[in-house]
Amino acid sequence: MGSRMELVPRLNMNALQWFRMCILCIAEFDIDPAFYHLMIQGDSALLLIITTIRISDIQKKIKDSYFYMHGDARLLSIRVGEIVNQSADICGDRPAIISCEKLASGFLSIGLRKGDRIALWSPNCYEWILTQHAAAKAGLILVNINPANQAAELEYCLKSTCVMGCLKTQDYYKILCNTIPDLPKSIPGKLKNSNLPNLESVIIISDDKRNILNNGNKESDKMLSDIEKLIQFDDPVNIQYTSGTTGSPKEGFGFNLFRPVNCVHLPLFHAFGSVHGSLTTFLYQGTSVLPSATFDAISSLKAIENIRAASSASLIKEIRDELDIPHVQVGYGCTETSPAVASNRYVEDFHNVEHSIMQPIEYTELVPVNTQGELCVRGHNIFVGYWGDEEKTAEAIDKTHWYHTGDLAMMTEYGFVKLVGRIKDMIIRGGENIYPLEVENFINTHPAVREVHICGVPDKRMGEEACAWLLLKDGMHLTEEEVKAFCKGKISHFKIPRYIMFVEEFPKTESGKIKKIEMTKISIEKLNL
Q: What is the DSSP string of 477-488?
A: ---HHHHHHHHB
Mean pLDDT of 384-409: 85
Beta bridge partners of 377: 366, 403
More confidently predicted of 23 and 245 = 245
pLDDT category at 209 given cuts 50, 70, 90 is low
Q: Are 129 and 80 in contact (CB under 8 A)?
A: no
More confidently predicted of 34 and 303 = 303
Mean pLDDT of 289-296: 53
Q: Is the model's pTM score more than 0.85?
A: no
pLDDT category at 65 given cuts 50, 70, 90 is confident
Mean pLDDT of 64-83: 70
**Which of 8-22, 120-134, 276-290, 406-420 bottoms out in mean pLDDT, i.e. has the lowest?**
8-22
**Which of 16-30, 125-139, 433-447, 501-515 bottoms out in mean pLDDT, i.e. has the lowest?**
16-30
3-class state of residue 42 by DSSP:
coil
Q: Are 333 and 340 in contact (CB under 8 A)?
A: yes
Distance from C-alpha of 241 to C-alpha of 143, rounded to nearest angstrom: 8
Highest mean pLDDT range out of 97-111, 342-356, 440-454? Answer: 440-454
Q: Are 41 and 312 in contact (CB under 8 A)?
A: yes
Residue 9 predicted with pLDDT over 50: no
Distance from C-alpha of 362 to C-alpha of 31, rounded to nearest angstrom: 8
What local confidence, expressed as pLDDT, does residue 280 receive? Answer: 64
Q: What is the mean pLDDT of the chain?
A: 71
Mean pLDDT of 252-257: 50
Please write down the long-range contacts of 84-87, taking CB distance under 8 Å and 24 or more positions apart: 84/133, 84/282, 86/283, 87/282, 87/283, 87/285
More confidently predicted of 14 and 233 = 233
What local confidence, expressed as pLDDT, does residue 244 receive? Answer: 43
Residue 440 predicted with pLDDT over 50: yes
Tell which phi-psi region holds residue 468, choosing left (phi > 0), alpha (psi between -120 and 50) or beta: beta
Tell which phi-psi region holds residue 528, choosing left (phi > 0), alpha (psi between -120 and 50) or beta: left
What local confidence, expressed as pLDDT, does residue 369 receive? Answer: 60
3-class state of residue 424 by DSSP:
coil
Beta bridge partners of 121: 145, 168
What local confidence, expressed as pLDDT, does residue 459 receive? Answer: 94
Rg of the chain over all Cα atoms, to the nearest angstrom: 23
Distance from C-alpha of 499 to C-alpha of 283, rounded to nearest angstrom: 43
Distance from C-alpha of 124 to C-alpha of 169, rounded to nearest angstrom: 11
Distance from C-alpha of 281 to C-alpha of 261, rounded to nearest angstrom: 8
User: Residue 141 carries which side chain, given as an amino acid letter?
Assistant: I
Q: Which residues of 218-246 are buried (b: 16+ CB within 10 A; e: fewer)?
A: eebbebbeebbeebebebbbbbbbbbbbe
